[in-house]
Structure formats: C-alpha cells, structure tokens
Amino acid sequence: MTSLGPYASFVVTSYALVAAIVLILIGWVALDYRRQKERLRELEASGVTRRSGRQATDIR
Amino acid sequence: MTLIDLANPTKFLSLTARVLPWLAGATAILLLVGFYQAAMAPDDYQQGATVKIMFVHVPNAWLAMFVWGVMSLAALGTLVWRHPLADVAAKAAAPIGAAFTFLALVTGSLWGRPMWGTYWEWDARLTSVLILFLMYLGLMALWRAVDDPSRAARAAAVLTLVGAINLPIIKFSVDWWNTLHQPAAVLRMGGPSLDKAFLIPLLVMAVGFSLLFVTLHLAAMRNEILRRRVRSLQMMQASQQAA
C-alpha cells in the first residue's frame, strides 16, 4: 500500500464517512425489521389475526 | 417463480428470506476485495493518493442516479400497471438513494478541495446532484406527510417521474456546460479512458455497492410490507374494538 501523502486526511475522511453511512443504513434496516416483527407479535398476542388465518410474523 | 408470483407480498417475503443471506455475503466479499484493491492501487501522476477517493465517490454517484431510475420504473408500475409492490419498492429505495447521493456529494467535495482548491462550486454537475439530493428528501417527506399509502404512492410516483428529468441533466451536464467537474471517464463513447490499475478496482467497487443497494432495497421492501401488515392489523383491531 502506498503512502497517502499530504492529502491523507481527505482520503481517510472519505472512506470513514462511507463506512459510517453504510453501517447506519444496515443498522436502520435491521432495527426496522426487528421493530415491525415485534409489533406484529404484540398484535397477534392481543388476538388480532390476518383474514387468511396465517401468522402475521410468518414470512416463509 | 415468475414475475407475476412476486406481485404476491407473501411470496415476495418468502423469496427475500431465501436470497438475502446470499446477497449480503456476496456484497461483503465484493466490497472487501474492492477496498483491498483500492488500497493497493497506485497513486495518480497528477492527483497523487487523492485518486483513491474515486473508488468510493464514483460508485455512489452512479447509484445516486441509478436508484432514482429504479424509483422511476416503480413509479410507472404504480401509475400504469398498478403493481402491488411498485410503491413499496419506490418508498423503500428513497432513503437508500438519498444516502448514496449524500455520499457522492460529500466525497466529491472532499476530493474537490485538494484538486480544485474548493469544497464547493455552483457548477452544473454539482448543483444538479444537489437538486437530486433535495428531491430525495422531498419524496421522503411526502411519504411521511400522507397517511394513506395508496394516496401517497400516486403523488410520489408523479413527483418521481417529474424528477427523472434531472437524470439526463446530471449525466450530460459536463458536456452541455463548462463545468469544473471532469467529463465522463468510464461510461463514454470510445470506451473507458482510465488505466486498468484504476478501472478494475473501480468496477469491483461499483458492483459491490450495486449489490449493497439490492440487498438493502430488498430488506427495506420486506420491512415496508411488514409495516403495512402492522397497519392493516391495527385497523382491524380498531374496528373490532369499535364494534
């Protein structure tokens, strides 16, 4: 790997920012999935069922 | 499984559950290879090590436009074919597209400072990409502002198709106007003008980021389908309680 020279801070900041935003996107999608599954579980536990009769949390 | 089958949200959820782990794995491998190749790429004879910013800036800039293109197709799906998953696809893609556009703007700015002597210039390319970013934010605000998903979908679809006019403006801005931004070096008549030492890592990163988009998009679509399932169950619960 070559030295990044006098502009290393620009290169490192760019890569760090990309990594941070990508991780935030992955975290947001994963947390949102957990939140929706949790809400569906709570609704099913309270006795609300889908018209098809299938479990709301069943995605297989 | 045919395309028609995918119109069924339950079948779509079943498909995403099967393909998402494979897509996530392929994305991680490609991005790791891409980052390694980017780290090992030589310095440019004029730009020095700052050329490494290209390996993250360009894929994000391509995806900023590509995602709006995907949303435009989804908008047609909503307005013309009334595909049940079209507006789900459009809504799920908007925050991801906004993130790619933000990254294209900021990494471009960080590349511009040492090369152009300024973080920002109101030239045609930079300004048209900033407008794209603002359109993404506007679209996300519209989705949040309207409670009924089907009403929001039609308004968002019209706005998306109007906004698609900006895509050729971004692409050809460097040809139509005298801009600080360099002209296209890869997607151009006569083939890429980049040396293989830069072109190969760039293409690996571009495929890696594209797979990242597909993975995140499918996962976000799955979440949106579940959110709508929650909404319909809440409405059923409310009507049961009212009866």
Q: Quick one: tokens of A7?
A: 């502009």
pLDDT tens string B169-206: 999 988 888 888 877 777 777 777 778 888 999 999 99
**Distance, CA of B64 to CA of B98 (rounded, Å):** 7
The answer to whether residue A35 sits within a structural domain is: yes
The answer to whether residue A54 sits within a structural domain is: no
Q: Which residues contact B3 (CB under 8 A, 6 or more apart)?
A: none
- Among A1, A48, A60, the strongest candidate for a mutation testing the B interface, having the largest count of B CBs within 10 A, is A48
Q: Is B125 at the interface with chain A, CB within 8 A?
A: no
CB atoms A59 and B14 under 8 Å: yes
pLDDT tens string B32-83: 999 999 999 888 888 888 999 999 999 999 999 999 999 999 999 999 988 8
Burial of B32-67, coded b for 16+ CB within 10 Å and e otherwise, reads: eebbebbeebeebeeebbbbbbbbbbbbbbbbbbbb
The answer to whether residue A28 sits within a structural domain is: yes
Residue of B nearest to A21 (CA): B99
What pLDDT score does B104 carry?
Answer: 97
CB atoms B219 and A29 under 8 Å: yes
For chain B, positions 126-165, list CB contacts with chain A under 8 A: none
The answer to whether residue A57 sits within a structural domain is: no
Q: Quick one: tokens of B164?
A: 């698609």
What pLDDT score does B5 carry?
Answer: 67
pTM for this entry: 0.91
What pLDDT score does B2 carry?
Answer: 63
The answer to whether residue A36 sits within a structural domain is: yes
Q: Quick one: tokens of B231?
A: 């909404």
Residue ranges making up the domain that contains A38: 21-47
Chain A residues touching B96 at Cβ < 8 A: 25
Q: Is A20 at the interface with chain B, CB within 8 A?
A: no
Please provide the distance, in angstroms rounded to a whole number, between the alpha carbons at the two ends of chain B. 41
Distance from CA of A54 to the nearest CA of B (A): 10
**Distance, CA of B127 to CA of B105 (rounded, Å):** 10
The answer to whether residue A37 sits within a structural domain is: yes
Coil, strand or helix: which one is B184?
A: coil
Give how many domains chain A has, as a whole number. 1
Nearest in space to B60 (alpha carbons), one of B177, B212, B215? B212
The predicted complex's ipTM stands at: 0.89
Three-state SS letters, B24-76: HHHHHHHHHHHHHHHHHCCCECCCEHHHHHHHHHHHHHHHHHHHHHHHHHHHH
> Measured between alpha carbons, how far is residue B165 from residues B39, B65, B109, B178 in Å?
37, 11, 24, 20
Distance from CA of A29 to the nearest CA of B (A): 6
